[in-house]
Amino acid sequence: MSSHPSRNRPASRPPSYEVLRSPEEIPTYSLVPVAGPRGNVLDSYRGVQRDDTREIVSVVSSRYGLVAHREVARVVCRVGAALEAPDLGSLPHPFPRESIRLYHHGRRLELKLVVGRKYHLEGGEELYPGLRVLNSLDGSWAIRLSGFAVRLACANQLYAPSGNVLEWRELHLSSETDLLADLGSAIRAYLERFPEGFSLYRQAMREEMLAEDVGPSLAREGIPPKHARSIGGRAEAEASHVGMLSRWAAYQVATAYLTREVRVNPDRERQFERMTARALLQAA
């Protein structure tokens, strides 16, 4: 009997998100009636239907105000078009100026935008501000805006805890027009406050830690053990025979690994960023 090796292979894992190139590629959504177990229409609820697949991606209250992913992305891109563009030559993959991802079957949207307002830190470090805008269609949370930085030396994404950079949230309570206007204002406010996060970076540049503590510190904060071990091993190699490195250097090792070698959905990615910042940027 002939063998079929392909049948014995595990099914490939479906992608955890969809990558889109522009707001116009983002699918549209509609609020539709939903039926109960007996087929009767539930007046207190609506389904959020993804129009391209006809899939009901969530069920929400009839009072829910739908703020469409496409409209959110259009606003972010319009704001971005009015801001200084970065030198694209200094932003290699995976950090183009704009990136759009849909995840959780299209219930959630993540859009990243890098702004070309270059900032200089000590030691020749140069950063571009970046912002991440999230939207959900399931009522769990509304539009969110948080900040990060792109380190130009290696295009790593850097994150500082919310005490040092702005994280803005708004509820789906107003009209779509008003809410999206608020988002544009929040983006501009974030950019004005972006330098407030630098104090944590500067502190981390001046403080040292044992290289052997990097992996355990990450694991204690919740980074999966295999990733914590890999980062810890690279930190020890970076420290060489000295056995010590700055918290900033340890953070660079960790963000380089997480940026380039770990592919997870945006929610999990944000969790890893927060865990890494807590573990490495500040002394215990």
Q: What is the dihedral sign for C-alpha 116, 118, 119, 122?
A: positive
Domain ranges for the chain: 19-61, 69-199, 207-280
Per-residue model confidence as pLDDT tens for the chain (284 residues): 333 333 343 344 445 789 999 999 999 999 999 988 888 899 999 999 999 999 999 999 888 888 889 988 998 888 888 888 887 777 666 677 889 999 988 999 999 999 888 888 888 888 888 888 889 998 777 788 888 888 887 778 887 655 555 565 554 445 566 766 777 788 888 888 888 778 888 999 999 999 999 999 999 999 999 999 999 999 999 998 889 999 999 999 999 999 889 888 888 988 998 899 999 987 65
